[in-house]
Amino acid sequence: MREELQDNIKRLVNFMNFAKSFFKRKNPFKELAVSLISSLKDMMTIRQKLKMAKYRVSYHQHQLHKMESLIAESNEHTFLKAKNLNELR
């Protein structure tokens, strides 16, 4: 009975040492705090990120529209070129 109790105490002490080493290495409380702070920063800056994303989308749409109009101007076989032909007559 006494030996079993001593074995259990040794196992408990061994487990506590492993747990202590784990908390020193990983420190889950610190990781939780860092995660919460980064989430708060993301929530605070979400509007700015959304505005920037909308600006990028509209800019790229504008660029695409410019490219399409330039392609249409230089292509003889499109219906948009007919306007220029009619003006020449």
Q: Are 59 and 38 members of one domain? A: no
* SS3 state at 26: coil
Q: Are 71 and 51 members of one domain? A: yes
pTM listed for this prediction: 0.47
Distance CA 43, CA 78 (A): 48
DSSP structure string for 49-89: HHHHHHHHHHHHHHHHHHHHHHHHHH-TTSGGGHHHHHHH-
In which residue are the tokens 């009619």 written? 86
Q: Mark residue 27 as left, alpha or beta (left: phi above 0; alpha: psi -120 to 50; beta: remaining).
A: left
Domain housing 67: 46-89
pLDDT, tens digit, 9 for 90 and up, residues 1-49: 888 999 999 999 999 999 999 988 988 889 999 999 999 999 999 999 9
At position 18, the amino acid (one-letter code) is: F
Q: Are 54 and 64 members of one domain? A: yes
Q: How many domains does the chain have?
A: 2
